[in-house]
């Protein structure tokens, strides 16, 4: 009990404590509308970018359409040139074949090894003795042209 009487009780200072700020203090910058100004600026930049993306997309679409029309205009010339080259290669192949198989009397120059008169014909597929398939196999531009699609 004696030890307890010697201790001093802790009391507030004379005149009391300083006032305590318990409210939210955002400062003057938040009260002046900076958040809305920043949001408006970001939205303006965003829509400005979207406008330019759309404008560029229309420009690219126009260039693609123009390129497609130019390709359509010259594709008959390209196909004719490819056909001439294919026929020239076909003639060279036939001449080489004629020279290579000059010793074989049964060999028919230009006859397909798959669709020939020498082998039995499949009963489901009649004899195919024309040489159109050989020309189609060597013609590559028409296949590339048919496979090429434009998204305009």
CB distance 109 to 98 below 8 Å? yes
Q: In this structure, what are the phi and psi dihedrals at residue 8, rounded to the nearest 5 degrees? A: -100, 140
Residue 39 confidence (pLDDT) above 80: yes
Reported as a pLDDT band with limits 50, 70 and 90, residue 47 is very high
CA dist 133 and 47 (Å) reads 57
Cα distance between residue 123 and residue 149, in whole Å: 38
Three-state secondary structure string covering 68-112: HHHHHHHHHHHHHHHHHHHHHHHHHHHHHHHHHCCCCCCCCCCCC
> For the whole prediction, is pTM greater than 0.95?
no
Q: What is the pLDDT of residues 94-121, one digit of tens each?
A: 999 999 999 988 888 887 777 666 655 5
């Amino acid at each position: 009990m004696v030890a307890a009487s010697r201790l001093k009780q802790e009391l507030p200072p004379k005149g009391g404590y300083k006032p305590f700020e318990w409210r939210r203090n955002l400062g003057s910058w938040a009260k002046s509308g900076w958040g809305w100004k920043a949001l408006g600026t970001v939205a303006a930049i965003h829509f400005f970018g979207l406008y330019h993306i759309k404008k560029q997309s229309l420009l690219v679409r126009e260039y693609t359409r123009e390129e497609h029309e130019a390709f359509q205009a010259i594709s008959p010339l390209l196909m004719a040139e490819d056909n001439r080259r294919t026929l020239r290669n076909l003639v060279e192949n036939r001449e080489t074949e004629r020279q290579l198989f000059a010793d074989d009397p049964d060999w028919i120059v230009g006859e397909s090894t798959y669709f020939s008169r020498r082998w039995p014909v499949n009963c489901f597929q009649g004899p195919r003795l024309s040489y159109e398939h050989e020309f189609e196999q060597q013609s590559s531009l028409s296949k590339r042209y048919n496979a090429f699609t434009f998204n305009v």
